[in-house]
Structure 1
């Protein structure tokens, strides 16, 4: 076991800090946008605090959330991300999910407007293999949810839809907002984010030159 792995096992927040800094440098977590979380063996999870720059996170910039969704050690100076309810419902729905990442990129917002409906067809790219789609010329799509001011409403709609119609890939879009992924580990969640952002960039570029498009 190398030293970096040992540190992550001691405090999983350190890996989230590193990933947040990487996403910030990519322009996907500008300002205080986005949120990251990691679930612990007891079902509780750490999530980034609201209003913190993702390029300058420290271990103290995370809030512990109990398995039932309640905030541990509430503090007036440290509030959990406004989208904690979304992380909570994804952990409840997917037993193997141990990390949940949400970032904001220009491309994610753009592709969410490529269709009027609640499902976005994805191009049959090789990158989909990294998201678990092992098919030749796959027909794959991802769900889109409306961006309500009341985040609990988004979480309720995710729960209702995924309970009856499980997603093809571990990712969802919130219209005009950003992408959320869930994964068995922070490392895998980071990979998923990078893969999704590659696909979004491809879609935007392809639409611009008329190579590939999606229906209404």
Structure 2
């Protein structure tokens, strides 16, 4: 049963918007939102993000319990990443992960484990009110076993918290987390704008 207050409804709207932008084509990407009891709803694996229904979500409880609409419904393969981000950042209520062409391209601009971002005005959307801010986005290898990615995120962020609430997985996509669904949606749009700028700037520079 759903109500007007059901957080899945906002996730459905956001997923459709991201799908229309080309950031969640097919079944790619995953969205989650945390509830007051510490559990969170996350998109189920293998569901088209442009056609989600409330039944296309799985609820993950802190004790490892799972609530799903049918026995064959499985949580997103990247649930472990959402879990670790919620543990590391207690104020986070929403976590969004999308796949875009630009995110994959910029992840190949460097061989290191961080990607410098240009000092664009858009960074103010992340709270960086600095002149010519020096900002990087952490970059992680895309391991076949998602648990390995989650472990690396935990290890690095425990020692070195990121400057902005975003991370990039090479050849995969970007993940953001925020205190509300609206803020998380803004973060995705901002970082994707920055990635598009970076791709366009490199294209112009190579002419």
1:96 maps to which residue?
91
Query: Does residue 142 of structure 2 align to residue 143 of structure 1?
Result: no
SS at match of 2:95: strand
Q: How does 1:45-194 map to 2 (within 5 A)?
A: 45-73=40-68, 75-194=70-189
2:105·2:171 contact (CA, 8 Å) conserved in 1? yes
2:30·2:42 contact (CA, 8 Å) conserved in 1? yes
2:10 alignment partner, one of 12, 15, 26: 15
Per-residue CA shift, 1:74-121, capped at 9, x if unaligned?
843210000000000000000110000000000000000000000000
Distance between the aligned counterparts of 1:172 and 1:194, measured in 2?
A: 14
1:198 alignment partner, one of 184, 193, 198: 193
Aligned-pair Cα RMSD in Å: 1.4
Aligned length: 204
Displacement of 1:17 in angstroms is: 0.2
Give me the TM-score of the superposition, normalised by structure 1.
Answer: 0.92
Distance between the aligned counterparts of 2:97 and 2:84, measured in 1?
A: 14
Q: Which runs of 5+ in 2 are unaligned?
A: none
Displacement of 1:20 in angstroms is: 0.1
